[in-house]
Structure 1
Amino acid sequence: MSSLPNSHEALLRNSDLLGGTVGLLGVTDPAILPLVGDSGLVMSEHAGVYSALSQVPGWQACFGYDDPGLQTATLDTVVVFLPKARAELDLRLALALWLARVGARLILVGEKKEGIAGAVKQLKAWLPDAGKVDSARHCQVWSAEVAEPSREFTLADWITWTPIEHAGVNIDVAGMPGVFSLGELDEGTALLLDSLASEPVSAGRLLDFACGAGVIGSWLQRWQQQSDQAAARVDGLDVQSQAVICARATYERNGSVGDIRASDGLSGVEGKWPAIVTNPPFHTGVRTDTSMTERFLREVASHLESGGELRLVANSFLPYEDQIRRHVGTVERLEQTRRFTVYRAFRR
């Protein structure tokens, strides 16, 4: 059995701090739950982790920051694990203070390499009396009493809007803390959009895998309309709760058409599409991690119609070309810069 993440081990060292009704925000390994207690509330913004958490008896699992199971003033102890994106910590702390009862204990746990030192400054902006209770497993554990819980937590207050213009097409894109490429059009996606304009996908229905805030689908439909073409339906999948929330908001704001769903990869998805486009992630925190894309490439052919097209952009140093050829079909490079490459393949 693999060991727990350092932050989870550090919390277990301080399990005597966990009293009353306990909530854990940002858990990454469900194996911690039976070690913490028989019941409680647990939240993850990752669809795969949430699915695993929901299988643990006695614990109420919630997916992301808008889950209806999150109710104000219901917890006596709230544990906040440090998120990968520092900007998300304030969102997580705001939720924690809304979930807390008067006099509840709030605990912040994080690794040094994740930036717990800087995170403590954010914690003290909310709870100035917070103090360190332990240093272990390369982590710090901080604790504070919640004398005045928040009376309101409105997710819409955390959504920002960014106007994006590319190749003469303008769209508004929703953003939330933790969402990829917040407030800008990243270079890889821009190159993918260029390829969709110069070499259009011949399909009336597409899937945008790892859709993020919904940029590709909204831009493509707007570009097609401005080019006097029929706008294709673009469905979207993403593993992250905030991305799904933002993509749906982006689609609504821009009048885009498509179904946006949360999914950890393609294994739990039914159906086939005549085309799939993607700018897949390759990071887990600060580490390069291509496992999600490699799993996607193993599964993608079963979700492409016969002769269907895969259009993928990735950092040029990543070893995807051979995998695309092996799992999908003959591959070609449509666009290439020093940093990024757009690949196209048709299912054999």
Structure 2
Amino acid sequence: MDPRSEVLLRQAELFQGNLLLAGLPADDLLGRLPNAHGWCWHAGDQAVLDARFAERSHFGVNVPGRGFDSAVVFLPKSKDLADYILKAVAARLPGAEVFLVGEKRGGIESAAKQLNAFGKPRKLDNARHCQLWQVTVGNAPAAPDLESLAQVFEVPLADGPLKVVSLPGVFSHGRLDRGTALLLEHLDKLPSGHVLDFGCGAGVLGAAVKRRYPHNTVTLLDVDAFATASSRLTLTANGLEAEVLTGDGIDAAPMGLDSILSNPPFHVGVHTDYFATENLLRKARQHLKNGGELRLVANSFLKYQALIEEHLGICAVKAEGQGFRIYRAKRG
């Protein structure tokens, strides 16, 4: 059981009504709170919840349309995303109770100040290295328009500026990160055909490839619903069309790919997690055609070269700079 869920269950009498759990972990909390309904934006967590609690968790970037008596928000890593989720929930619950739960090292003490916009928050519990806060929504905000919260910026490329639309919570929100910038400089000589942008975030790589190689089929894949929503907006902003998938890692990707591009993440929330990238490196071969290529950028300190060679083939460092390396390997 997630420690945040354990904290809630210490106060279970508060959560017996028709309850929304926003950003809930994929544990047994829904089983312990039979009147609760989840709202999830992580495809992996949603798959687990669907398997265990069918039709009791809503997936996407918008608050579920059904009615609730109260809500618990599990603090996300991003302050901008927390602000959107809290406002979206509070807008639906004037006069009702909204709770915020999170880990101390995730910044719950500071994040609780965001509840001041709705009323006077109070701390209910402090346990399991987590805190639980409550506010009665006396000042219900207008329902936030997610798209209006996007940060739009341009990336200068050889074939002209690329417009990027970044929603709250998306990796490197509102700016181009150094790893992606390096990979954008080394998109030459990609195999033609079907290209996958794995861990697409706001869709920078996928959109750049589709514009540069318009005859290629491009698929963008991310585990996060806010990321894939951003990618769709980025494609539209540049007049491009490509397939966008929300799924849990490389297992959700198409087969028969000609190339896989990635600037993969290695953090989930406040915890370090290499699983998605390591799973990609182990299984890329299954998704690539013979002669298909993996081209990946990663922090130089991450020892991925040996893993790539073990599972795919000879791996070369195509470029290096700013603390990053681009690895390139072909399926033999």
Q: TM-score, normalised by structure 1?
A: 0.90
CA–CA distance in structure 2, aligned partners of residues 167 and 187 of structure 1: 17
Please say if residues 38 and 59 of structure 1, whose CA atoms lie closer than 8 Å, have aligned partners that are also in contact. no
| 1:256, distance to aligned residue in structure 2 (A) | 1.8
3-state DSSP of counterpart to 1:211: coil
* 1:24 lines up with 2:16 in the alignment: no
Q: Which residue number in structure 2 is paired with residue 138 of structure 1? A: 129
DSSP 3-state at the match of 1:174: strand
Give the gaps of 5 or more residues in structure 2: none
Structure 1 residues 338 and 218, CA, compared in 2 at 3 Å: closer, same or farther? closer
Alignment of 1:186-197 (within 5 A): 186-196=177-187
Q: Deviations over 1:248-273 (max 9, x none)?
A: 11111112231001011122444221
1:227-258 residue CA offsets vs partner (Å, 9 max, x unmatched): xxx54232100000100000011111112231
- In 2, Cα distance between equivalents of 1:149 and 1:58: 31
Distance change in 2, residues 1:28/1:155 (3 Å): same
Query: 1:166 corresponds to which letter in structure 2?
Result: L
Structure 1 residue 48 and structure 2 residue 44: aligned? Answer: yes
**Native 8 Å contact 2:119 2:139 kept in 1:** no
| Structure 1 residue 209 corresponds to structure 2 residue 198 | yes
Measure how far apart 1:209 and its partner are. Answer: 0.6
Q: Which residue of 2 aligns with 1:181?
A: 172
- 1:164 CA displacement: 1.8
The answer as to whether partners of 2:202 and 2:228 remain within 8 angstroms in 1 is yes
- 2:98 is matched with which residue? 106
Contact map agreement 1:19 1:77 (CA 8 A) in 2: no
2:161 maps to a residue whose letter is N
Root mean square deviation, CA, Å: 1.8
What is the distance in 1 between the residues matched to 2:193 and 2:112?
50
- Aligned to 1:55, the other structure's residue is in SS state helix
Contact (CA 8 Å) 1:6, 1:139: kept in 2 or not?
Answer: yes
- Give the one of 247, 252, 261 matched to 2:245: 261
What is the SS of the residue equivalent to 1:183?
Answer: coil
Match of 1:71 among 65, 74, 78: 65
Taking the aligned partners of 1:98 and 1:298, their CA distance within structure 2 comes to 44
The equivalent of 1:62 in structure 2 is 58
Partner SS, residue 75 of structure 1: coil
Cα deviation digits, residues 2-35 of structure 1 (max 9, x gap)? xx22211111111111142111001122311111
Contact 2:232 2:244 in 1 (8 A): yes
- 2:167 partner letter: M
1:95 to 65, 82, 88: 88
Match of 1:341 in 2: 325
For residues 227 and 250 of structure 2, the distance between their equivalents in structure 1, rounded to whole angstroms, comes to: 16
- Which amino acid in the other structure matches residue 10 of structure 2? R
Task: Using the aligned pairs only, state the percent identity.
Answer: 37
Helix, strand or coil at the partner of 2:106: coil
Q: What SS is found at the alignment partner of 2:56? A: strand
Where does residue 283 of structure 2 map in the other structure?
299
Q: Deviations over 1:282-334 (max 9, x none)?
A: 11234432111001111111110111011111111101101111111111111
- Following superposition, the deviation at residue 122 of structure 1 comes to 1.1
Report the number of matched residues.
332
Question: 1:47 and 1:140, CA in 2 relative to 1: closer, same or farther beyond 3 A?
Answer: same
Question: How far apart are residue 58 of structure 1 and its match?
Answer: 6.4
Report SS of the residue matched to 2:186.
helix
Q: How much does 1:217 deviate?
A: 1.6
- 2:35 is the alignment partner of 1:39: yes
- Tell me if the contact between 1:192 and 1:313 (Cα under 8 Å) persists in the aligned partners: yes
- The question of whether the paired residues in 2 share the 8 Å contact of 1:40 and 1:59 is answered with no
- d(CA) in 2 for partners of 1:58 and 1:333? 45
CA distances 1:154-196 after superposition (whole Å, capped 9, x unpaired)? 3222223112213453111111111011111111111111111
